[in-house]
Structure 1
Amino acid sequence: MTERSPQRIIGESPALSDLLDQVSQVAPLNRPVLVIGERGTGKELVAERLHYLSQRWEQPFLKINCGAISESLLDADLFGYEPGAFTGANRIHKGRFERAHEGTLFLDEVGNMSQALQEKLLRIIEYGEFERLGGQKTLTVDVRIIAATNEHLPALAQQGKFRLDLLDRLAFDVLTLPPLRVRQGDVRLLAEQFGIQMSTELGWSMFPGFTEQAMDELLQHPFHGNVRELKNAIERSVYRWGLEDEPIDDLVLDPFDSPWQPRSDRGSGRHHIDPSLGFGEQVARLEVQLLQQALDRHDQHQGKAADALGLTYHQFRSQLRKHGLIGQGRPKSD
């Protein structure tokens, strides 16, 4: 039994096609695979594809987010426990490694795993051996491990935060997912698919599609949250549009965008660092913040905002288009 049926990976762009070719090539091999990608790029979908294209496809496919729970709970969840291992442990509990025997275990956000758990994971990869918490008996399992992260694990290993020997074992092959911004040809396909799904959920007889203006806006938007952000934007836009017989012309790309948004949210002048984001995304977010603050200070007047940032009007408009903000602010006037 699997936890759910696999989802289809949608796209025809060269970058995605190259990745899927690599997935098909490594899937039949009984080796660990490391999946790397920005948030929202579909790391879990790739893990599922690896499982269902392997010889283990009829066996369990289990998954866990290593960054979502504490070290002690993660230890018990992965390796199980014996009666008396801790307060409230009154029966044998089989962990995910035991339940995934002869199948696949997907370890999401593996970079958040503690050093102690990394050592246990290394032992399972090398020997297939472990003990339940509170247990004395060594157990053996046959589990294929697929790990995922949005961290740069070699850098963490150099800093002593991730075991280099574990990284060597996990990285038999590394699949790096392309972000949506390099998959421009896939945005239209994905938007149509998500629109159809949401129309069905709303009970509409058909999906009316998008106007060319709306589609152009989608194609210009940076989508820092990748496919997940696109899916949310399409679903939100469809249900807010509410007209099943007219093409969607009004997109809701930013649910926080409102004339009543508290000024303190964007007026503090501080750029909050999110360590889970890459350098490029951090820079892009800072650029957006600077553009929005300049518009706020000058009553959405683009010409004055451009002057304040030391940009020409056309440079400023180019930046707005780059970040999907082209509809924001008033055009330049004398």
Structure 2
Amino acid sequence: MNEHTPQRLIGESSALSDLLDQVSQVAPLNRPILVIGERGTGKELIAERLHFLSQRWQQPFLKVNCGALSDSLLDADLFGYEPGAFTGATRLHKGRFERAHEGTLFLDEMSNMSQAVQEKLLRLIEYGEFERLGGQTTLRVDVRIVAATNEHLPDLARKGRFRADLLDRLAFDVLTLPPLRARQDDILILAEHFGIQMSSELGWPMFPGFSDRVLEQLCQHPFRGNVRELKNAVERSLYRWNQPDKAIDHIVLDPFASPWQPGNREATPDLDDTLGFADQVARLEVLLLQRALDQNDRHQGRAAESLDLSYHQFRNLLRKHNLTTRQA
């Protein structure tokens, strides 16, 4: 991919297609856009697509994570500063707005902005004007702003945590990204795409594919971390599988899943000297079964997977310990 090519958005679901149609429609307009979505849904990819489908595609596309910087650092990063503006400011620094002139600036996690920075941003959107920190000269820029958040900004505005007038300026249109659970048709397409990429990275001659069991697990998993979680799960599973000539038959969805996690007192129950070996093992089995169900919202398929058991093995253990009547 070169600097003038956006990353691909993978999928064929109607939810994704509808979103991309909306992106194509609004991209040519020189207006601010809000991109809303859960973590891992691809907000930055949508911002890139908005830029590269606009008339600004040959101009700079810059991005900043507003949640990763303190208020003072974010102010300096966005608007720049003059020598002497603060201790250590020995030279002129052009902020991202200046460097993004005639291009696009992507403001990620912008709900974390302080009220002071929000006020400066509001003025810039309205008039295209700002001053560097410590400066007295008013500068003008032409920058398209694409802002993203996983928060509900109207609620924050009602609570006084986000300026309502800034929200009005930013929300010329709002693109809401569907979570992966609303893109069921895309899960296996994405999984195969990430599998092929990881196979190449591992030096495998080809991607061996997934077993039917793993395909079913992928389709049933909620993927609260969305596409990013799916990508991590596929890549993790391939490198742990390490059998390039066999279809992947085990998917590692939770890298923390282990009965021996440090600090997990339930994982190592106290031994009872009055019980025999078989009874002690039975106690541990019950503990692991109940904990797996609790951690997976009582979903037996995901609970079985977290214990590296097949669904039928898991169900047999539930019957063995008379736990089936407790599962709703």
TM-score category by the smaller chain? 0.7 to 0.9
Partner residue, 2:277: none
- Aligned position for 1:279: none
Answer whether contact 2:60 2:100 (CA < 8 A) is retained. yes
CA distance in 2, matches of 1:5, 1:79: 27
- The CA distance in 1 between the partners of 2:266 and 2:126, in whole Å, is 50
Instruction: Report how far residue 331 of structure 1 moved.
Output: 2.8
Asked if 1:331 is matched to 2:318, the reply is: yes
Match of 1:18 in 2: 18
In the alignment, what sits opposite 1:300? 288
| 2:188–2:215 contact (8 Å) kept in structure 1 | yes
Residue 90 of structure 2 aligns with which residue? 90
RMSD: 2.4
Query: Counterparts of 1:166-315 in structure 2 under 5 Å?
Result: 166-262=166-262, 264=264, 298-301=286-289
Q: 2:258 & 2:62 partners in 1: Cα distance? A: 41
Structure 1 residue 332, shift from structure 2 partner: 1.9
User: 2:285, 2:70 → 1: CA distance?
Assistant: 43
- Label 1:241 to 1:301 Cα distance change in 2 as closer, same or farther (>3 A): closer
**Does the 8 Å contact 2:33/2:174 carry over to 1?**
yes
| Match of residue 299 from structure 2 | 320
Return closer, same or farther for 1:239/1:301 CA change in 2, 3 Å cut-off.
Answer: closer
1:69-123 C-alpha deviation (Å, 9 max, x unpaired): 1000000000000011011111110000000000000000010000000000001
CA distance in 1, matches of 2:258, 2:221: 18
Instruction: Give how far 1:326 is off.
Output: 3.5
Does the CA contact (< 8 Å) of 1:220 and 1:321 recur in 2?
A: no
Give the TM-score normalised by the residue count of structure 1. Answer: 0.83
Deviation, structure 1 residue 321: 4.5
Q: 1:211 Cα deviation (Å)?
A: 0.7
1:241 positional shift: 0.6
Which amino acid in the other structure matches residue 19 of structure 1? Answer: L
Deviation of 1:195 (Å): 0.5
In structure 2, relative to structure 1, the CA distance for the partners of 1:171 and 1:90 (3 Å cut) is same
Partner of 1:67, secondary structure, is: helix
Match of 2:81 in 1: 81
Partners in 1 of 2:9 and 2:265 — Cα distance?
36
Name the SS for the 1:197 alignment partner.
helix
Counterpart residue type for residue 96 of structure 2: R
Structure 2 Cα separation of the partners of residues 109 and 3 of structure 1: 24
Q: Where does structure 1 differ by over 6 angstroms across 4 or more consecutive aligned residues?
A: none
SS in 2 for 1:332: helix
Cα distance in 1 between the residues matched to 2:189 and 2:21: 20
Residues 42 and 227 of structure 1 are in contact (CA less than 8 Å); yes or no, is this contact kept in structure 2? yes
**Counterparts of 2:61 and 2:265 in 1: how far apart (Å)?**
42
Q: Secondary structure at the match of 1:331?
A: helix
Contact 2:15 2:178 in 1 (8 A): yes
CA contact (8 A) 2:241 2:248 kept: yes
Kindly tell me: are residues 88 and 157 of structure 1, through their superposed partners in 2, closer, same or farther at Cα, counting changes over 3 Å? Answer: same
1:148 aligns to what?
148
- Tell me the distance in 2 between the aligned counterparts of 1:69 and 1:296: 46
Separation of aligned partners in 2, 1:118 and 1:87? 24
Cα pair distance change 1:317/1:254, threshold 3 Å? closer
CA distance in 2, matches of 1:184, 1:265: 37
Please state if 1:103 is matched with 2:103.
yes
Q: Deviations over 1:5-46 (max 9, x none)?
A: 521000111111111110001000000000000000000000
Distance 2:202 2:250 in 1: 18
Q: Is the 8 A contact 2:32 2:173 kept in 1?
A: yes
Cα drift, residue 184 of structure 1: 0.6
Number of equivalences: 296
Displacement of 1:296 in angstroms is 7.9
SS in 1 for 2:287: coil
TM-score, normalised to structure 2, is: 0.85
- Consecutive unaligned residues of structure 2, counting only runs of 5 or more, are 268-282, 308-313, 323-328
Paired with 1:177 and 1:165, the residues of 2 have a C-alpha distance of 24
Code of the residue aligned with 1:181 in structure 2: it is R
Q: Deviations over 1:201-223 (max 9, x none)?
A: 11111111101111111110111
